[in-house]
Every structure is written in structure tokens, then in C-alpha cells.
Amino acid sequence: MSKTRSFFERLTGSIPADEFDDVTTENEKPIMSSLGRHHTPIQEETPLHEEEAQLTIDMHQTPDEIIIEAMVAGVKPEDLDVSITQDMVTLKGKRTKSATVQQDNYYYQELYWGGFSRSILLPQEVDSEEAEATMKHGLLTIRLPKLDTMKVQKLKIKNG
């Protein structure tokens, strides 16, 4: 007898925990936890092309600047590309694994390794020339000075 799935289960494709142990497909293999139960099947790696993950960020403002923060632990500063225009910031990079581990030796495999990027539309124009980026303990912080769009520039008229 088939149980009707909840709206959330149908929307997300999730599987109730009591049905989880019976689920595998031909490209998946169950892994064993230290308790001897099967857990999350891991897709065997057969990528046709390398995918990019979307980098997660926090963005907030002060009266004078917009600040973007992103966790980029494991990425060298020279492997990060930060592009800034007056209304957009694009972050790109690649996190590479230092050790090779055979797929059969994993209990859990949740960390993301590979390319990532993120384009962020800014809520107001910034001075891209004065922007600064720093990285400390894996946290990338980008400071973007706001342009004062309300400031009125008086133009002097020359006799010509």
C-alpha cells in the first residue's frame, strides 16, 4: 500500500525517514555509519562537465558602505577573483582538495570541492575604485563605499 506524500515531500522530493533505508538507484551506493545502518546514498562521480556551486554570502550596510562577507575557507587569495562594478559584485574561485580519498572510504561526504561563483546585485551604486577586500581565517570581507547619489555637484561655466 502506497502512502500519500505530504506537499513538502512532493515539493522537495524528500523521503520520509522510515522509507529511507529501502531507497537506492543504480548510480548510488549506500554507505554504512559506525552504527551499521545505511545512510545517505552518495552519487558516484561521473560528471560530464564540472559544475559550479553558488557561494553563500552575508551582505549588510553601514551609513557609508555596503559590506559583503563570504566563507572561502581552503581557498588561497590568489585563487579568488573579485570583480566590482558600480552596481554588481562577482566572486569566483575554486576550492581544491589536498588529499585523494577513495570513494569507498567515506562515511560522510558533505564538503564542496570545485569551482564556485556568485554575482550580487547591489542595492545602490558604489565606488568600485575605492573598494577593499580582505581575508582572515577563511572569511572574505569586501567593503564597498557607497556613492552619494543625493549629492549635487555644482558645475562652473567657463567663458568660451
pLDDT in tens, 73-131: 989 999 999 999 989 999 999 988 878 888 899 999 888 888 999 999 999 999 999 99
* In the chain, % of residues over pLDDT 90: 41
Q: For residues 48 and 31, what is the distance between their CA atoms, to the nearest angstrom?
A: 24
Q: For residues 153 and 136, what is the distance between their CA atoms, to the nearest angstrom?
A: 38
Whether residues 17 and 85 share a domain: the answer is no
Residue 153 falls inside a structural domain: no
β-strands 65-71, 58-61 pairing = antiparallel
Domain around 12: 7-43
Asked if residue 79 lies in contact with residue 98, where contact means CB atoms within 8 angstroms, the answer is no
Asked if residue 93 lies in contact with residue 80, where contact means CB atoms within 8 angstroms, the answer is yes
30 has pLDDT over 70 = no
For the chain, how many structural domains are there in total? 2
CATH number of the domain that residue 128 is part of: 2.60.40.790
Residue 23 falls inside a structural domain: yes
Whether residues 34 and 85 share a domain: the answer is no
Residue 154 falls inside a structural domain: no
Whether residues 72 and 110 share a domain: the answer is yes
Strand partners for 61 = 66
